[in-house]
Amino acid sequence: MEIRLLENTQATVCLGKSEDKCDPEKCVFEDKKCMPNVLKKEKVCYGKSYNECKSPCKFYGKSVHDKDKCYYKYENTEELKLEQQLIAKEIAGFKRFIKILKNKNKSIVFHLAEEINKTNKQLDKLIDKKKALDKGDLIGTAEYLKVAEDIGKLKTNKISYEAIIKSIKTLDEKEDN
């Protein structure tokens, strides 16, 4: 199964683990956090300004004002190759994980679309019933109040379903950009 492939990445083995569960083969425990070894070298340099960028890092910006231009300086090609293989494996794992999560979002959207359709049918029936009660001068009766309350609940549910769908679509649009 595809999810098993994710279990072999350093990120899934390390992130969120306590110090005693931090696997020393794939992880390093620093700053009270278990993180993948693949990030250890980059963490030393990441986000440093020109003045903060010290060995083993090197500043590759065009100007001292450039941000995020401090990178780890590899000592040899072998080290670089091993790191790149690890990075490629981690990225592939994350891409598979993102694909699974997107599929999960689609499942949610399909389910909510069905719920909205059911809600619309129930709303139509209740609105028709309310109109019939309006014509029969039954406004204010217990039955009328119950129908009005049910209509309100269904509309609230529908709005919440639509809000979830909208947040999923917004997330998809952000990723497309």
- Using an 8 Å Cβ cutoff, are 90 and 36 in contact? yes
Domain enclosing residue 110, as ranges: 100-177
Residue with tokens 């670089």: 80
**Total of domains in the chain:** 2
pTM: 0.65
56 with 118, same domain? no
Residue pLDDT, tens place only, 106-136: 999 999 999 999 999 999 999 999 988 888 7
Rg of the chain over all Cα atoms, to the nearest angstrom = 28
Tell me whether residue 92 is in a domain: no
Tell me whether residue 129 is in a domain: yes
Which of the residue ranges 13-22, 28-37, 146-155 has the most confident prediction, judged by mean pLDDT? 146-155
Tell me whether residue 90 is in a domain: no
68 with 107, same domain? no
The whole-angstrom separation of Cα 33 and Cα 27 is 10
Closest CA to 29 of 42, 15, 47: 15
The whole-angstrom separation of Cα 66 and Cα 154 is 54
| Segments of 44-94 assigned E as strands | 57-59, 70-72
Tell me whether residue 166 is in a domain: yes
67 with 3, same domain? yes
Averaged pLDDT for residues 95-116: 93
Phi, psi of 93 (to 5 degrees): -60, -45
Question: Which of 73, 108, 124 finishes a domain?
Answer: 73
Is pLDDT at 7 greater than 80 in this prediction?
no
Tell me whether residue 115 is in a domain: yes
Tell me whether residue 83 is in a domain: no
